């Protein structure tokens, strides 16, 4: 495993192979206000303090000076500050002995300190930190206040780190000094990082087909997934087509990169916003071969508010439609309903009805007749 860099006037931190031995005892002085870490049981102010992280508070009352000592968790040490070779991706190297007397270590990204404490607390609980449920939310404050002098190089991805060092979650192979830093702890070197798992899944997706980043919910924390997607975009393996929507680049016939299918893209956007989409009547009649006209601006019916969506410089309009128009949204039956409403009573000639019937499967036509339709529409369909 890697070694910490020694800072002038500071202490070096050495990352050893994981063992079941407890950490060396290190009793801190007790501050009037603030945290202390006790590796052994001690007595203070007539109170027995068991090993762990303690929060000490002093205040004045009518009865005089008052003190309190709150046990937060089992002994937890912030051994070093971590950061990449380029001076970014700062973090903290955390170590402790878990409830099974096994030493655990986590190079935690500082980015997690910007959000809720649940992610940090959940990871520490998952690898065995003994925590006071009442004071659990104070663990994040303790970690944030620590300023160790030791420094370590952080590798945010598994794999080759330079030419001579191969990084895995719990060990390194080759020459060099670095520690694997991740938003989650991997206790098995064979287990893949969030980035590696997402990269493998992306390679199996069809090129040119848009998808939402929510597809990878469950692969890791929201920050870890976003960071993994951002890396793939930077490497050119993914293309961002809309907020939270990406696709694998696909070579175009006459351009370097093909644009995504409009219906597929707007459908993904609609699913993100929990909306239903129906093809617009002008497009529906064209699909049935009843018109050759194409709107200059793509329009779709929706059950949400009317709005415009911009994909680059291109505008897509969403128009709120009644529930009757939105029946069987996104299906051949829905397209038939949209076409009939667009044609209207006068435009729904026998020739148009025949063309629509010919495009529908018999079972779909039966479902169409069962829909809630205006009287004139039901009449022309039954002729």
Domain boundaries, the chain: 34-160+172-180, 194-247, 262-382
Q: Say which range, 36-40, 200-204, 246-250, 378-382, has the weakest mean pLDDT.
A: 200-204
Reported as type and span, the H/E element at residue 354 is helix 350-359
249 φ, ψ (degrees, to nearest 5):
-60, 140
108 φ, ψ (degrees, to nearest 5):
-95, 125
Which DSSP letter does residue 14 get? Answer: B
- The three-class DSSP label of residue 269 is helix
Residue 363: pLDDT band by 50, 70, 90 thresholds? very high
For residues 27 and 333, the model is more confident at 333
Residue whose entry in the numeric block shows the structure tokens 């500050």: 81
Per-residue H/E/C for 282-345: HHHHHHCCCCCCCCCCCEEEECCCCEEEEECCEEEEEEECCCCCCCCCCCHHHHHHHHHHHHHH
By DSSP bridging, strand 165-167 and strand 64-73 are unpaired
Residue 50: pLDDT band by 50, 70, 90 thresholds? very high
pLDDT digits (tens, 9 = 90+) for 76-135: 999 999 988 778 889 999 999 999 999 888 888 998 898 778 889 988 998 899 999 999
User: Which distant-in-sequence residues (6+ apart) come within 8 Å of 327 by Cβ?
Assistant: 333, 334, 337, 371, 372
Residue in 150, 140, 149, 74 with CA at minimum distance from that of residue 108:
140
Reported as type and span, the H/E element at residue 270 is helix 262-272
pLDDT at 153 over 60: yes
User: For the chain, how many residues are written?
Assistant: 383
pLDDT at 155 over 80: no
Q: Say which range, 162-166, 241-245, 300-304, has the weakest mean pLDDT.
A: 162-166
229 φ, ψ (degrees, to nearest 5):
-65, -40
Q: What is the per-residue pLDDT for 179? A: 78
Euclidean distance between CA atoms 58 and 66, whole angstroms: 6
Which tokens sit at 362?
A: 């018999």
Average pLDDT over residues 156-184: 67
Which tokens sit at 252?
A: 């175009």
Residue in 143, 97, 100, 153 with CA at minimum distance from that of residue 120:
143
CA 114 to centroid of chain Cα atoms:
15
- What string of DSSP letters covers 90-108? -EEEEEEE-TTS-EEEEEE
336-to-329, 348, 349, 364 alpha-carbon distances in Å: 10, 11, 14, 10
Residue 193: pLDDT band by 50, 70, 90 thresholds? low
210, with CB counted inside 10 A (0-12, 13-18, 19+), is: buried
pLDDT at 301 over 50: yes
User: Which distant-in-sequence residues (6+ apart) come within 8 Å of 230 by Cβ?
Assistant: none
Q: What is the per-residue pLDDT for 26? A: 41
Q: What is the per-residue pLDDT for 8? A: 36
Q: Are 288 and 339 in contact (CB under 8 A)?
A: yes
> Is 2.60.40 the CATH number for 194-247?
no
Q: What is the per-residue pLDDT for 96? A: 94
Which tokens sit at 368?
A: 């169409």
Helix and strand element counts for the chain (H, E): 10, 20
pLDDT at 5 over 50: no
- Among 1-5, 153-157, 359-363, the range with the most confident prediction by mean pLDDT is 359-363
- The three-class DSSP label of residue 32 is coil
């Amino acid at each position: 495993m890697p070694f910490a860099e020694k800072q002038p006037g500071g202490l070096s931190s050495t990352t050893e192979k994981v063992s079941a031995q407890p950490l060396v005892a290190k009793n801190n002085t007790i501050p009037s206000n603030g945290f202390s870490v006790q590796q052994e049981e001690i007595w203070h102010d007539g109170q027995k303090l068991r090993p762990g992280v303690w929060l000490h508070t002093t205040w004045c009352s009518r009865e005089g000076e008052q003190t309190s000592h709150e046990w937060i968790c089992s002994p937890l040490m912030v051994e070093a500050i971590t950061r990449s070779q380029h001076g970014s991706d700062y973090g903290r190297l955390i170590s402790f002995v878990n409830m099974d007397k096994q030493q655990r270590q986590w190079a935690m990204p500082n980015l997690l300190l910007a959000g809720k404490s649940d992610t940090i607390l959940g990871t520490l609980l998952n690898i065995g930190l003994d925590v006071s449920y009442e004071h659990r939310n104070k663990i994040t404050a303790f970690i944030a206040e620590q300023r160790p002098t030791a420094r370590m190089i952080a590798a945010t991805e598994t794999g080759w780190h330079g030419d001579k060092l191969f990084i895995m979650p719990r060990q390194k192979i080759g020459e060099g000094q670095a520690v694997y830093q991740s938003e989650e702890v991997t206790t098995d070197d064979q287990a893949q990082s969030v980035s590696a798992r997402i990269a493998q899944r992306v390679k199996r997706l069809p090129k040119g087909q848009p998808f939402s980043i929510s597809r990878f919910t469950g692969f890791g924390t929201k920050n870890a997934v976003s960071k993994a997607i951002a890396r793939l975009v930077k490497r050119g393996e993914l293309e961002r087509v809309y907020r939270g929507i990406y696709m694998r680049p696909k070579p175009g016939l006459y351009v370097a990169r093909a644009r995504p299918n409009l219906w597929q893209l707007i459908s993904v956007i609609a699913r993100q916003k929990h909306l239903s989409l129906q093809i617009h009547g002008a497009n529906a009649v064209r699909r049935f071969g009843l018109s050759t006209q194409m709107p200059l601006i793509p329009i779709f019916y929706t059950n949400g508010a009317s709005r415009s969506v911009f994909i680059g410089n291109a505008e897509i309009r969403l128009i709120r439609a009644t529930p009757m128009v939105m029946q069987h949204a996104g299906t051949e039956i829905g397209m038939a309903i949209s076409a009939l409403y667009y044609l209207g009573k006068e435009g729904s000639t026998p020739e148009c009805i025949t063309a629509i019937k010919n495009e529908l499967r018999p079972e779909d036509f039966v479902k169409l007749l069962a829909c809630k339709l205006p009287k004139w529409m039901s009449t022309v369909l039954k002729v």
